Amino acid sequence: QVQLVESGGGLVQAGGSLRLSCAASGSIFNMRWYRQAPGNQREFVAGITRGGSTNYADSVKGRFTASRDNALNTAYLQMNSLKPEDTAVYYCNTQRFGIDYWGKGTLVTVSS
């Protein structure tokens, strides 16, 4: 079983930056970031493989950067040039043996 704990959310003005962290209880392979805004479905934001390959949703390309520290079993999401529409609860997600694991999320609020 894998436990994921997100941190780093908060309130920031539009144009600002935040760095989210996702600490895992053990070795992780692929890691994905999702977000869910009020009244919306959860959506994919970014993904990073164990080797460091990344992919992003079109809405965050060029602004968000996923990274990881395998020694610390931690993934990061650097979010720059934040917009009010980035306001959401951000979750990290991984799979092991076909089972999905989710953190409890961290709230990001971007004020205009």
Per-residue pLDDT of the chain (112 residues; tens, 9 = 90+): 899 999 999 999 999 999 999 999 988 889 999 999 999 999 999 999 999 999 999 999 999 999 999 999 999 999 999 999 999 999 999 998 889 999 999 999 999 9
Q: What tokens were used for 66?
A: 């996923």
The DSSP call for residue 25 is S
pLDDT of 27 reads 83
What is each CA distance from 26 to 42, 49, 50, in whole angstroms? Answer: 25, 15, 13
CB-based contacts of 89: which residues, under 8 Å, 6+ apart? 9, 35, 36, 37, 105, 106, 107, 108
pLDDT of 45 reads 98
Q: Are 102 and 3 in contact (CB under 8 A)?
A: no
